[in-house]
Amino acid sequence: MRRAASASSADNSGASSRRRKMMADSESIEEVAVIGNTDITPTEAENNIVNTMVERGTSLLKKMEISVAEAEKRTGKNTVNMQETYTVYLIETRPAESVSEGGTPATPDTLWRRYSEFELLRTYLLVTYPYIIVPPLPEKRAEFVWHKLSADNLDPDFVERRRVGLENFLLRVASHPVLSNDKIFFLFLTEEKGWREAVLETGFQDKVDSRLKSLNATFRVKNPDKRFTDLKQYSDELNTVISQLLRARAKVADRLYGVYKVHGNYGRVFSEWSAIEKEMGDGLQSAGHHMDTYAASIDDILEEEEHYADQLKEYFFYTDAVRAVCRKHELIQYELELAAQDLAYKKQQKEELVTGTVRVFSLKGMTSKLFGQESQEQRESRLTALEQNIQEGEAALKQKNAECREFVQTAWEDIERFKEQKNKDLHEALISYAIMQISMCKKGIQVWSNAKECFNKM
């Protein structure tokens, strides 16, 4: 049984939609409970979410439900005419009203997309909205893995986690106040065939190269905006700390797996041993079974932990997007300063030309000194040209100023929105981590209590 996640869950956290899927898929929902409100049933909780969606959702989300329902393997010829195997993901959209009717939901519209198309969409968004912190995609290749997890892109577990990550991406974009209104995004969800052409038609490709160049270039800004420099620093530090945490966590998971699995050997040995014992036999045998249970329990525990890691990973990748916005601002600031500088220089030149003093070195000035004064006509024409330049320069500066102001305003709006989202999401992630720990300890206590009873009967 699988349910499409409703879009509002992206409002708080993409992780919530994952968790709700987990709940739907699992068999026993008897003891589901809500902290603080013990009487709430799953349906009521669902309605809560729906209501919030309507309150807080974007206009896109008010119209449609989005999900990435399935993944499939395909083979085909690639651009260099070689056979390749790749995965496609099914995007389902359906009108939002069908949920509250209570009857069977309407059949969704569907189309298939592969990961590279998601990448294309994201690049387009990055270039088109440089002042927006664009949500990240799930990782291209599995990083921070521990030995049990496969790093193979075709491995079913990896594909599943990627499917969830892609859905999360779409929901994040769909719930963004600015991005959700983008036409190309809408087409991505609804037009399977013509989408690629539509994207290319926007001409965003031209901006891609220059963006890459600007991101990587080194330049110094004279009057940096403190808010942005602070943000960039925070983003860099967050990036470092989360990557450290993810690495450490992967190693810890690996080791914990080892601890639990070795206990499985007890199961085997106790079973064999019980065969030669009379009074001790039963106790040993049943204790052995509990050891097997204990060893097996780590699989579920670590799978849940993996979701927690995915939540951290999303924000790890988000830091790159934040950094990109800061860099873009730096670039704009720099260009503004250059324009101002350029204008000042030209004005200086004009002044000198008018007053006849040479303060600024110019080749013309030098040659005229060496080879004799220029004629009045020549001076006049130069002056006119300069004045023209100055006018153009002033216009350019004005435009750059406006551009900068607008960038700062829109960017900062998005940054505030992002900060709030981040705090909420990560807070929830940490709480769910705590709950996982509690659950793990409870399981441990249960198993060992059972084993103790068995040993007492030895």
Residues 377-436 that bind other proteins (CB under 8 A): 423-424, 426-428, 430-436
Site mask, other proteins, residues 106-145, x = CB under 8 A?
A: ----------------------------------------
279 lines the binding site for other proteins (CB under 8 A): yes
Strands 83-95 and 109-114: antiparallel
Give the whole-angstrom CA distance, residue 136 versus residue 173. 10
**At its nearest, how many Å lie between other proteins and the CB of residue 103?**
23
Give the whole-angstrom CA distance, residue 446 versus residue 434. 18
Q: Which one of 8-16, 79-87, 167-175, 364-372 is the stretch in contact with other proteins (CB under 8 A)?
A: 8-16
Give the whole-angstrom CA distance, residue 395 versus residue 26. 64
Q: Which one of 15-23, 58-66, 201-209, 393-401 is the stretch in contact with other proteins (CB under 8 A)?
A: 15-23
**At its nearest, how many Å lie between other proteins and the CB of residue 261?**
9
Tell me the C-alpha to C-alpha distance, in Å, between residue 449 and each of 101, 123, 289, 301, 453.
48, 55, 13, 19, 6
212 lines the binding site for other proteins (CB under 8 A): no
* Cβ atoms < 10 Å from Cβ of 64: 19
Q: With respect to other proteins, which residue has the nearer C-beta, 209 or 272?
A: 272
> Could you tell me the strand order of the sheet in which 64-77 lies?
64-77, 83-95, 109-114
Q: Which one of 134-142, 251-259, 371-379, 393-401 is the stretch in contact with other proteins (CB under 8 A)?
A: 251-259
Q: Which residue type sits at 190? A: T
| SS3 assignment, position 200 | helix
Q: Helix 156-174 vs helix 183-190: angle between axes, to the nearest 10 degrees?
A: 140
Q: Which of 73, 140, 213, 255 binds other proteins (CB under 8 A)?
A: 255
Give the whole-angstrom CA distance, residue 342 versus residue 397. 9
Q: Which of residues 287-316 bind other proteins (CB under 8 A)?
A: 287
Q: Which of residues 438-457 bind other proteins (CB under 8 A)?
A: 438-439, 441-442, 444-445, 448-449, 451-452, 455-456
147 lines the binding site for other proteins (CB under 8 A): no
Q: Which of 1, 276, 363, 370 binds other proteins (CB under 8 A)?
A: 276
Tell me the C-alpha to C-alpha distance, in Å, between residue 36 and each of 24, 33, 40, 184, 430.
22, 9, 10, 43, 18
Q: With respect to other proteins, which residue has the nearer C-beta, 304 or 352?
A: 304
Q: Which of 252, 360, 366, 395 binds other proteins (CB under 8 A)?
A: 252
Q: Which of 263, 328, 329, 346 binds other proteins (CB under 8 A)?
A: 263
- Which tokens sit at 32? 């589901």
Residue labelled with tokens 């030669």: 276
33 lines the binding site for other proteins (CB under 8 A): yes
∠ at Cα 435 (430, 439), nearest 5°? 145
9 lines the binding site for other proteins (CB under 8 A): yes
**At its nearest, how many Å lie between other proteins and the CB of residue 457?**
9
Q: Which of 111, 256, 340, 396 binds other proteins (CB under 8 A)?
A: 256
* Cβ atoms < 10 Å from Cβ of 377: 8
Q: With respect to other proteins, which residue has the nearer C-beta, 23 or 344?
A: 23
Nearest alpha carbon to residue 305 among 157, 427, 432: 432
Helical ranges in 224-375 per DSSP H:
226-274, 281-355, 363-371
| SS3 assignment, position 152 | coil
**At its nearest, how many Å lie between other proteins and the CB of residue 150?**
21
**At its nearest, how many Å lie between other proteins and the CB of residue 248?**
4
- Which tokens sit at 145? 């893995």
Q: Which of 20, 172, 176, 232 binds other proteins (CB under 8 A)?
A: 20
Q: Which of 1, 28, 141, 363 binds other proteins (CB under 8 A)?
A: 28
Return the exposure string of 218-246: e unless at least 16 CB atoms fall within 10 Å of the residue's CB, then b.
eeebeeebeebeebbeebeebbeebbeee
Q: Which of residues 225-244 bind other proteins (CB under 8 A)?
A: 234, 237-238, 241-242, 244
Q: With respect to other proteins, which residue has the nearer C-beta, 52 or 202?
A: 52
54 lines the binding site for other proteins (CB under 8 A): no
Q: How many residues bind other proteins (CB under 8 A)?
A: 79
Q: Which of 3, 45, 159, 221 binds other proteins (CB under 8 A)?
A: 45
Q: With respect to other proteins, which residue has the nearer C-beta, 4 or 331?
A: 4
Q: Which one of 41-49, 215-223, 343-351, 376-384 is the stretch in contact with other proteins (CB under 8 A)?
A: 41-49
